[in-house]
Amino acid sequence: MAESSIIIKGKKQGSFMDKVAEILPEGGNLNLCLTCGACASGCPASGLEHMDPRKFLRMCAMGMDEEATKSNWVWMCTMCQRCIYVCPMKIDIPQLVFNARASWPRDERPKGIRDSCDMALRNDSNSAMGTAPDDFVFVVEDVLAEYQEAQPEFKVMQAPIDKPGAHFFLNQNSREPVTEPDELVPLWKILHLAGVDWTYGSKGWAAENYCLFLADNKCWEHVTRVSAKQADELGCKVFLNTE
């Protein structure tokens, strides 16, 4: 009878989780999982594609790189970081998910997210709807004038754009100026009644960053820098992200 043997190898080589841990502060605590399930209990994506944060992390830890990183579940994670907040070991699962997304060839990533990212790169608005800076200015001024006339109690309300020295630099969901312009107004009213010193930027005003969700590092950094540069040039003290 032929003898059988089990060869116990050392540390697994070149695993996906090990590579991600190398680029995260303190390794993202990726090896501290207690398998308690707290992450899965609060995750809005738990159960989708028969996956949850705990299962995803354990698969990565066991070297099941292909099964974990190529699961469609990585695109269903909202990156809300709720799993980190409830985790007793503060394991950075969202960064693991982000890098799983980044391992996909760009043309195989979800088309809707990819197209929205590419649209945001077309002009300095950063708008996923493709709205140019001049169009945004026109919509804001038109809607403001309408409400100033229709509601006398707000006749002095302002919605400033490119106001130098404003304390807050405010951004806006890019869908609203295009399809739901009246949805801009409630926040203006709150800021007006609270006496807040704020401004939009004609550049970098769009709030969402689909390039970040696409895990395209170069593109999401570009989008972020456009907004940050505009806020800096206006001398704003606080970047107020409405998304």
How many separate domains does the chain show? 2
Question: Percent of the chain, pLDDT > 90?
Answer: 92
pLDDT of residue 209: 93
Q: Would you mind telling me the total number of residues written for the chain in this entry?
A: 243
pLDDT tens-digit map of 118-157? 999 999 999 999 999 999 999 999 999 999 999 999 999 9
Q: Classify residue 10: in a domain, yes or no.
A: no
Burial 126-139 (b: 16+ CB within 10 A, else e): bbbbbbebebbbeb
Residue 9 scores a pLDDT above 60 = no
Q: Classify residue 3: in a domain, yes or no.
A: no
Q: Classify residue 187: in a domain, yes or no.
A: yes
Q: Are residues 128 and 201 in the same domain?
A: yes
1 vs 243, higher pLDDT? 243
Q: Are residues 96 and 191 in the same domain?
A: no
Q: Which helix (H) or strand (E) holds 44?
A: none
| Rounded Cα–Cα distance for residues 102 and 106 (Å) | 8
| Last-in-domain residue among 77, 104, 131 | 104
Largest separation between any pair of C-alpha atoms in the chain: 96
Q: Are residues 25 and 142 in the same domain?
A: no
5 vs 40, higher pLDDT? 40
Q: State mean pLDDT over 39-46.
A: 94
Q: Classify residue 2: in a domain, yes or no.
A: no
pLDDT of residue 6: 45
Q: Classify residue 94: in a domain, yes or no.
A: yes
Q: Are residues 100 and 170 in the same domain?
A: no
Q: Classify residue 41: in a domain, yes or no.
A: yes
Q: Are residues 97 and 138 in the same domain?
A: no
pLDDT of residue 11: 52
Q: Are residues 86 and 60 in the same domain?
A: yes
pLDDT of residue 242: 87
Q: Are residues 188 and 125 in the same domain?
A: yes
pLDDT of residue 67: 93
| Last-in-domain residue among 104, 124, 151 | 104
The distance from CA 154 to its chain's CA centroid, rounded to whole angstroms, is 34
Q: State mean pLDDT over 157-172.
A: 97
- Asked whether the CA dihedral 122, 124, 130, 131 is positive or negative, the reply is negative
Query: Which band of pLDDT confidence, cut at 50, 70 and 90, is reported for residue 243?
Result: confident
Q: Are residues 82 and 39 in the same domain?
A: yes
Q: Classify residue 6: in a domain, yes or no.
A: no
pLDDT tens-digit map of 58-114? 999 999 999 999 999 999 999 999 999 999 999 999 999 999 999 999 999 999 999
Q: Classify residue 208: in a domain, yes or no.
A: yes
Q: Which helix (H) or strand (E) holds 8?
A: none
Q: Are residues 117 and 227 in the same domain?
A: yes
Q: Are residues 201 and 231 in the same domain?
A: yes
pLDDT of residue 207: 94
Residue 4 scores a pLDDT above 90 = no
CB 61 within 8 A of CB 93: no
Domain that holds residue 194: 112-240
pLDDT of residue 32: 94
Q: What is the pTM of this model?
A: 0.84
| Last-in-domain residue among 56, 83, 104 | 104
Q: Are residues 41 and 160 in the same domain?
A: no
Q: Are residues 234 and 150 in the same domain?
A: yes
